[in-house]
Amino acid sequence: MTGLWHGANYTFILWGLYHGVFQIIERACFGKTLERHKLAAHFYAAVVFVFGWVLFRADNLVQAGVMVKRMIFPWQYTESTLLLGQLFGAKTVLVIICGGLGCGFVQEMFQGCKKSFNWKNSYLELGFCTLMFVFSIVMLASNTYNPFIYFRF
């Protein structure tokens, strides 16, 4: 159903099936294991998420296959993959990697601080989250390259 909602191309339907299959597998086979092992769950979710977005992004299955191959074997560069080096500098790539690896840990740390200081959901937390949200929007809006992500819907 999610694939039908997101677009008209068959890759969106495959993306929805992919998503549904992993939900079924998690609930039927190893959902409890993932609850006990937070680091493994974080790694598993990141891998499933990243590979799932390939179907969401690709125009067809051939393109999806090429993307997955380049993800698994990144040392096989072509002229088109070198374009990424022009779009993203080393600092941007480092920030993306650190953000991806650290997002769950930062959330856990923030929850730990809330418990140790006996914070309830307060105006301070609401203000901080609002400030971070506005800052994120300003940073996105100030970027020179703003593609319209729904062009294929």
Which pLDDT does position 5 carry in this prediction?
A: 56
Q: What is the spatial distance between Cα 151 and Cα 4, in angstroms, rounded to a whole number?
A: 16
Report if pTM > 0.75. Answer: no
Among residues 3, 45, 43, 37, which one has the least CA distance to residue 20? 3
Which pLDDT does position 146 carry in this prediction?
A: 55
Q: What is the spatial distance between Cα 20 and Cα 80, in angstroms, rounded to a whole number?
A: 32
Q: Dihedrals φ, ψ of 145, to 5°? A: -110, 110
Question: Which residue's entry shows tokens 């703003």?
Answer: 146
Which pLDDT does position 3 carry in this prediction?
A: 47
pLDDT tens for the chain, 153 residues long, are: 554 555 567 888 888 889 889 888 888 888 788 888 888 888 888 899 999 988 888 888 999 998 888 888 766 666 555 555 666 677 777 777 777 777 777 777 777 777 776 666 677 777 888 898 888 888 777 766 655 555 555
Which active-site residues does the annotation give?
A: 6
In a 3-state reduction of DSSP, which class is residue 37? coil
Q: What is the spatial distance between Cα 147 and Cα 91, in angstroms, rounded to a whole number?
A: 21
Name the strand (E) or helix (H) holding 41. helix 38-57
Q: Decide if 54 contacts 72 (C-beta within 8 A).
A: no
